[in-house]
């Protein structure tokens, strides 16, 4: 019984400390029956931003937001034209590998002069500008391009701070578990430990995902063929072509004459009938006058 009182007293002290810490401006995670650990200062959770202090400059298409002390997710979309899109896609893939990146996706379609390709590469953020500059130097022409920088500094610091707080809580629960004597106390502490460990794993996954997206930038490139106009030779004479054109013209002339003849056959009786009426009227007049 004495040990049980000591454990309950320790829990009460921890709860009082948690209540005192909740009044301070810090990031913490709590749950039913849990202990809220103090959150370290944001400076502890901030990661070294030297990885983003490469050649990111506004002149190369990166927004002014790309500062050395910020965590940015950089993405770019490039529309390109070349004589051989498939060969250009292979060059882009080799370019990414040379910069320390890799290929995320590749799609090729078409045949002959109608080939096209779309691919997505990932390069280190410190080589992002170098990648864009080398892409623009490939054989072909850039139709359009755009670059986007998403600032996730606050989100990254917040997730890291919550992760540190949960790890501190886990250590406190482990200490309480070592002091527990009854099965009921052990089960309660273990239940809280399982919930805390689940939250730690979730936050660790978010941290790893954000870190990967910050350290590596993605570039999506669509490559279309350059339209070529077929050249026609000048000054060449083709007798068969001339004969075909003359035959076509003669057939058209015969067609016109045939149409005229049909019109005459259909409507020629009208003037003939009128002329017959006029002649009949004239003869009737001449016959009536002598009488």
Identify the pLDDT of residue 217. Answer: 93
Identify the pLDDT of residue 216. Answer: 93
Identify the pLDDT of residue 41. Answer: 36
Q: Is residue 104 part of a domain?
A: yes
Identify the pLDDT of residue 28. Answer: 35
Q: Is residue 76 part of a domain?
A: yes
Non-local CB neighbours of 284 within 8 Å, separated by 6+ positions? none
Strands annotated E in 18-140:
72-82, 102-109, 116-124
3-state secondary structure of 92: helix
Q: Is residue 39 part of a domain?
A: no
Q: Is residue 127 part of a domain?
A: yes
Non-local CB neighbours of 9 within 8 Å, separated by 6+ positions? none
Q: Which residues of the chain have pLDDT under 50?
A: 1-3, 5-7, 9, 12-14, 16-66
pLDDT tens string 137-188: 898 889 999 999 999 889 889 999 999 999 998 898 888 888 888 888 888 8
DSSP state of 40: P
Q: Is residue 151 part of a domain?
A: yes
Domain range holding 131?
Answer: 69-229
Distance CA(116)–CA(80), nearest Å, equals: 10
Q: Is residue 132 part of a domain?
A: yes
Q: Is residue 225 part of a domain?
A: yes
pTM: 0.53
pLDDT tens string 6-37: 445 455 444 544 444 443 333 333 333 333 33
Structural domain total, the chain:
1
Q: Is residue 268 part of a domain?
A: no
């Amino acid at each position: 019984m004495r040990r049980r009182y000591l454990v309950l007293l320790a829990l009460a002290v921890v709860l009082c400390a948690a209540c005192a810490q909740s009044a301070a401006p810090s990031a913490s995670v709590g749950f039913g029956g849990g202990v809220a650990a103090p959150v370290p200062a944001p400076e502890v959770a901030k990661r070294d931003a030297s990885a983003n202090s490469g050649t990111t400059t506004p002149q190369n298409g990166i927004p002014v937001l790309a500062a050395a002390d910020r965590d940015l997710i950089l993405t770019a979309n490039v529309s390109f034209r070349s004589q051989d899109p498939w060969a250009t896609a292979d060059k882009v893939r080799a370019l990414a590998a040379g910069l320390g990146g890799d290929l995320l996706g590749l799609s090729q379609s078409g045949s002959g002069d109608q080939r096209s390709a779309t691919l997505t590469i990932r390069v280190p953020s410190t080589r992002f500008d170098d990648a864009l500059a080398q892409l623009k130097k490939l054989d072909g022409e850039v139709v359009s391009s755009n670059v986007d920088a998403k600032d996730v500094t606050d989100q990254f610091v917040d997730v890291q701070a919550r992760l540190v707080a949960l790890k501190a809580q886990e250590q406190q629960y482990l200490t309480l578990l070592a002091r527990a004597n009854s099965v009921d106390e052990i089960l309660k502490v273990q239940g809280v430990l399982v919930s805390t460990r689940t939250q730690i794993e979730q936050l660790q996954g978010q941290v790893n995902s954000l870190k990967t997206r910050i350290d590596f930038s993605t570039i999506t490139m669509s490559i279309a063929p350059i339209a070529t106009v077929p050249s026609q030779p000048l000054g060449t004479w083709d007798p068969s072509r001339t004969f075909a054109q003359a035959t076509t013209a003669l057939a058209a002339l015969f067609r016109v004459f045939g149409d005229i003849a049909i019109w005459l056959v259909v409507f020629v009786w009208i003037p003939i009938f009128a002329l017959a009426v006029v002649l009949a009227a004239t003869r009737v007049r001449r016959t009536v006058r002598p009488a």
